[in-house]
Chains A and B, each alone.
Chain A
């Protein structure tokens, strides 16, 4: 079993829809990261959180430490949101990231 599980693997949405991507993990963590990888391949950090909720523009990330679960929400989705969204965790005193397999999002106009 992977230490970080994401769902769904693939997601197709119509422009304007509200999108949710889920991440569950089975290890102790110091922080959870949401990353975005565009078709060109570059990886950008969207959020790093260890509790509660963070918001940046149309993106919202939440985490429930007790349930070992996080969600990434995109409101009013747009075709430019099309990318792979990767959940990753960093644990304890270790700084390295353990990655989920990613969710490939495609937003159609």
Chain B
């Protein structure tokens, strides 16, 4: 398997522009996580999906952020409009999930480094 695939790997955009980050999880994994990493705050959860359904989006900073998972093999994280403080590395991760019996090891994508000027 190719692992978790993220695109683009790098994105530079101007403040106010829309940014769309993409993620393809590992085939067969039914949980998908979006994380953000900054120097100040480290890694933090933005949102996660189980069987394509958003379970917890409490980490999404504000309404400018939205995420979708239209099918088991694709997810997007959109920022509209983008601001300089959104500059960070955004990681997507996937895992198997077995409901109440627990979750499994997470596999991380390479990340998208976003710079908003």
Q: A residues touching B (Cβ–Cβ < 8 Å)?
A: 30-31, 33, 35, 41-45, 48, 86, 88, 90, 93-102
Contacts and interface: CB of A to CB of B under 8 A. Distances in A.
A41 B31 CA distance: 22
B111 A41 contact: yes
Contact of A48 (B44, B45, B104): B104
B105 A30 contact: no
Nearest to A46: B105
A93 B100 contact: yes
Interface of B: 31, 33, 35, 42-45, 48, 50, 55-56, 89, 91, 93, 95, 97, 99-100, 102-108, 110-111, 113
A109 to B, nearest CB: 28
A40 to B, nearest CB: 9
Contact of B108 (A44, A95, A102): A44
B42 A96 contact: no
B90 to A, nearest CB: 11
Given A44-B108, A95-B33, 5 more contacts: A48-B104, A86-B43, A95-B95, A95-B103, A99-B44
B103 A31 contact: yes
Contact of A30 (B45, B89, B102): B102
Contact of A43 (B45, B91, B100): B91
Given A30-B103, A41-B89, A42-B108, A97 B33 contact: yes
